[in-house]
Structure 1
Amino acid sequence: MLWKNKNEFTFEGKEYEAEDTVTKCLEESRRWTEVVAAAKVETGARNQRPRDGKAWTVPENGRVKCNIGISWSKATCMVGLGWIVRNSEGDTMLHSRRDFNGVSSLLEARRLGLIWAAESMNSHKLQKVSFELEDYELVGSVNRPKAWPAFQLAEWKVSSVKRVANKAAFMIARSVTKERRYQSYVAQGSPSWLRSLLAEEDMRSIML
């Protein structure tokens, strides 16, 4: 809420009373705790569990896939985030990276990553998006429409995957925490330093 309010103040000139912000934070925290607890119980749901050892696959025709990478440092409370969007032909359309400071937990980092990626897809006018990230509990929470209605967009899907299917996005995120690449960006096409990996994943996807 603080991050979103800061952005709205910076870019739109909107101001919020401190008391209103605190109230909203407390309400979101309560709902989030309830949703996560419920998601842990529903361990049998198909879209909660990551695909066991399955490599990256192209999205179905007419959709794009946005893989979200999160790399969090407990020592510095810094998180590196990255996303990469590919189409049904396996071609990279867009990729992005940014960092956040003062992130106190991996759960908070993952939630921040999903919100940031969703807002990015919205700003780029991408509607039929399949999101993938490494957190089955968060995915299970988002996919509960009654408990978490804010994320229920008709043409968006969210799924959990293991690292083998999310490697490119994770490496973009890790470049912040491990290689200290702090400059944020959004770029078209494939990142040059990941082209061999992306080509390999595309080839494997064709063979599946």
Structure 2
Amino acid sequence: MQVKPKKGRAKWKPPLTGWTMCKVGVTRNKSTRLAGGGWVLRNERGVVICHRRRACSNVCSIDDARFVVILWTLESMGSQRISNVVVAGEFAELFEAVERPQVWPSFLH
């Protein structure tokens, strides 16, 4: 049985041989200011190598939640000595802020 991706979602594409794919997700509850995030690391065949999840309190915005989770994800990759990683998720603004910081002055801190 083949699972079709939901409308508007891109189908998972494997990374190049020798690379891994880290899919990251984030959520936040406005009223409680709680955020949660998780990541799953897969090889080029789609086999799960490892995964983690984390909760954070007192998170002011979804952008703050994304920043905290992507930072934690990248620190996790480093601490586990995982290299050659493609990171995927809804982080376009953060990645653009790294690539073009002059356009995103609010992220300079």
In structure 1, how many angstroms separate the alpha carbons of the residues matched to 2:10 and 2:56? 30
In structure 2, how many angstroms separate the alpha carbons of the residues matched to 1:63 and 1:74? 36
* More helix by percentage: 1
In structure 1, how many angstroms separate the alpha carbons of the residues matched to 2:69 and 2:19? 21
Per-residue deviation at 1:57? 1.2
Please give the secondary structure, in 2, of the residue aligned with 1:79: strand
Gaps of 5+ in 1: 1-51, 148-208
Question: Which residue does the alignment assign to 1:118?
Answer: 74
Q: Which moved more, 1:90-99 or 1:129-138?
A: 129-138
Question: Which residue does the alignment assign to 2:57?
Answer: 101
Is 2:4 the counterpart of 1:69?
A: no
Question: Which residue does the alignment assign to 2:87?
Answer: 131
Per-residue deviation at 1:133? 1.3
Among 7, 24, 36, the residue aligned to 1:80: 36
Please give the secondary structure, in 1, of the residue aligned with 2:93: helix
Is 2:57 the counterpart of 1:92?
A: no
In structure 1, how many angstroms separate the alpha carbons of the residues matched to 2:26 and 2:92? 14
Per-residue deviation at 1:53? 3.6
Identity of aligned residues (%): 33
* Cα deviation code 1:63-84 (max 9, x no counterpart): 1011111011101000011000
Normalising by structure 1, report the TM-score. 0.44
In structure 1, how many angstroms separate the alpha carbons of the residues matched to 2:99 and 2:14? 21
Normalising by structure 2, report the TM-score. 0.81
* More strand by percentage: 2
Gaps of 5+ in 2: 1-7, 104-109
Spell out structure 1 runs of 4+ moving beyond 3 A: 144-147
Per-residue deviation at 1:110? 0.3
Larger Rg: 1
Please give the secondary structure, in 2, of the residue aligned with 1:65: strand
